Amino acid sequence: MAAGTIRGLGAAQAPVTVAATTVAAMLASFGSALLLEHAAHLHTDAVMQAVVLSVTLSRGHRGARPSDRLIGFAVMPAVALVSVGLGILMRDDAFAGDAAFAALVTSGVWIRRFGPRFTKAGTLMMLPAIALLVIPHGAPGAPSTHLLWAPVVALIPYFWVTAVQVAVEQPWRGGRVEAAPAPAPSKRLLASTRMAAQMGAALCAAFAIGHLLFPDHWSWVVLTAFIVCNGARGRGDALHKGLLRALGAAGGTVLAAAASGLFAPRDPHAVVLIFVVLGVAAWLRQRSYAYWAGGVTAALSLLYGYFGQSATPLLETRLEAILVGSVIGTAAAWFVLPFRTRDVLRRRTSQSLAALTDVLKGEPHALIRFENSVAEMDDLYGPLRLHRFVTRAQPHPADVVDVLREAVPHVRALRPGVEGLRANVGAVRRAVARRHDGTPYRTLPPKEDATAHAIDAGLARLHEIYAPSTEEPKREPKRGPESPEKARPAG
């Protein structure tokens, strides 16, 4: 089953729909910001800021609850004002500004420990700040009255992203399942703390190395280090994102070089091409992040050209800075309080099997929770699949994602009351948790239907992957399940 197509929101998460809603929000934001620029005599940076924010919001805000969306209308203007002050500080006092930027972004990661709502708030906190790295606020000589329009500029893309996504997702029709509450506190170091430490280390190193090696374009190093570290689900995921970011940037650089000089400044055909590139990139992102990185690199170069700022001479420098940022972000994830991608997979597998148990019990909304928990594994599949391809190991943790994806249509068609499946799910859950007590796994009797046997065949494969050798079980010390927070991706 194709990645990204199993969602509780159904069609709202399909690749074509995602691309269409992203482009629609970007077009509306671009047009509205352009009108504001002419009416208020703003700088062209305001239009570019609106486009960048619409791109980042379109992905990070999908599936948000209506209450969270309403809160965003209050949060975005306040954060935009803070970002204005931050931009001016970074312009006038590099050391203090960089420290304040790192503190803001790191705190946005750290507060994810308090649950999904704080995760959304942390994301909103970071968006205007990250947009500073693409198009800085407070250019020398910019009137302060122009900078005070930043809250309005931030609200424009937020409004259009919200309007388009709500129209597509139609939350008023119901059928949504509330997110699971945050896990209980653990004595282990929380994943949000680990990720915040990684982000802080990556940003500090990126600022220092960026100013040293690329004094005029240090922001590209910092932005790439942030992208690689943000939400990295373990060391393998960070390495995978770093590679894709570098490959995508290289491809985008080639595209931008090929398209350079084709359009004069303010040529409307350039705008059409920009949104075509971003739309295709949003559609292909479901397959690989490299497409998105390449598309954004090319689109930003075209956008600079539209406003009369030639980016062609800087393409080589941009690529070098992105490579350096990728190395910094990957190194932070590997050496600063690291955790493994396969540990994140183990936790999410446990969640999926718990939801499957509830499906077998006939609990309401359990099927949607099972589908959503399987869909959450899409983010892990890329690095695991690459590792499986390189090592050729069998069985491999990537097989877990394949098995659970294949099980979704069978679980949908499953009739209630199948004897033995619940016991086998329990046996697999104990194997995932590294426990060896309880009823062992037993194959279903032949009397059960084909759907039940298809699910049971998947459970057998999971048991084979996670269960240690049954010949000498005592060599593996008994212990409780892996703490969910040990590898919790924190949103």
Q: What tens digit of pLDDT does each residue of 204-255 get?
A: 999 999 999 999 889 889 989 998 998 788 888 889 888 988 888 888 877 7
C-alpha 435/C-alpha 361 separation (Å) is 23
Mean per-residue pLDDT over the chain, rounded: 80
Of 120-134, 187-201, 347-361, where does mean pLDDT reach its minimum?
120-134
Counting Cβ atoms within 10 Å, is residue 288 exposed (0-12), middle (13-18) or buried (19+)?
middle
Q: How far apart, in Å, are the Cα atoms of 23 and each of 10, 93, 249, 276?
A: 19, 37, 21, 8
Residue for token pair 């994943």: 191
Encode pLDDT of 154-194 as tens digits.
Answer: 899 999 999 998 888 776 554 444 444 444 445 567 888 89
Does residue 315 have a pLDDT over 70?
yes
Does residue 450 have a pLDDT over 80?
yes
| DSSP codes of every residue in 168-232 | HH-GGG----PPPPPPPP-SSPPHHHHHHHHHHHHHHHHHHHHHHH-TTSHHHHHHHHHHHHTT-
C-alpha 221/C-alpha 325 separation (Å) is 4
Does residue 275 have a pLDDT over 50?
yes
Encode pLDDT of 140-158 as tens digits.
Answer: 444 444 567 888 888 999 9
Does residue 19 have a pLDDT over 70?
yes
Does residue 10 have a pLDDT over 60?
no
3-class DSSP string for 378-398: HHHHHHHHHHHHHHCCCCCCH
Question: pLDDT band at 486, cuts 50/70/90?
Answer: very low
Counting Cβ atoms within 10 Å, is residue 160 exposed (0-12), middle (13-18) or buried (19+)?
buried
| pLDDT of 191 | 82
Encode pLDDT of 31-88 as tens digits.
Answer: 898 898 888 887 777 787 788 888 888 877 777 778 778 888 888 888 888 888 888 8
Q: CA angle 218-92-121, nearest 5°?
A: 70
End-to-end CA distance of the chain: 24
